[in-house]
A and B are shown apart, each in its own frame.
Chain A
């Protein structure tokens, strides 16, 4: 009888611990998702980056060219950087850095940022007026 009670207690403990662990993981993930969404909503330009990453440097350089200061989250310099990266991956389907957000919308990675800059759409999105010429306004 005592053995059965002990077994039941043991099993209950395991189930409870599993539930607590699952809840902690889910809660942790939820808090990271909230952090990402809150950060993206609070700033015009957000770059999720890693300080050593050449592609991140390239994305930052684009905004320097446009004389804009992005809000940068350096994932390698945060304790929870790895979890934030996992959360970003779940939200946007990409694990790589940088990931750039403009006015709350996901622009993409380094290549997407450079492409948007070179095509002029990035300046347009940010409301920057650029001088235009009609040099290209003819058939090739």
Chain B
């Protein structure tokens, strides 16, 4: 049974249609990478899947009792709210200290328990968000541009970590990426979004594109792959995305 399935979904933000007639689904245990240019509705798609936005049309079906782990792109915590990392992890369900520590260790943030959230760097904050998402033992982990601000080795390390988490928890992963052409090689499926689903399919591995392997080197240990977009339609000018640097 599918974890989540959206059919004919149309979503508007402040009266502007951002997603039109989108079909999207996630099967248990698969890793789906969503790519698309800025403003293509990637974050909107995730926020609709978690229930924060209501589609104007279409339907979303969830597996009963689906457990979601959501890592937002950014989070602004008001300076007047005192919150340590440990306390943040206990929201909304209170958890034992040992459990919090285990989740932080798993996310690579083991030393941060007593630190105020306001003092964390961007990368540390991201790891804490990941730790919190893992605490709920999710069936489906949704990550919104988790590698933003990371360099390529950093992205590669993060992707390997996600692979390990999937292997251990058996959860499905939906990841939004700001990179159009370089995606996580462990992706079972890449969905290219631009207000609608443009194309989707398996990523090609770096190994098959020697010229790009030269470009990206081997320092990623195979964590990065190229994605060949197979569009069968043309775009209007206002949301065309640059095809000139595709691998063809």
Q: Do A and B bind each other?
A: no
Chain A residues with CB under 8 Å of chain B are none
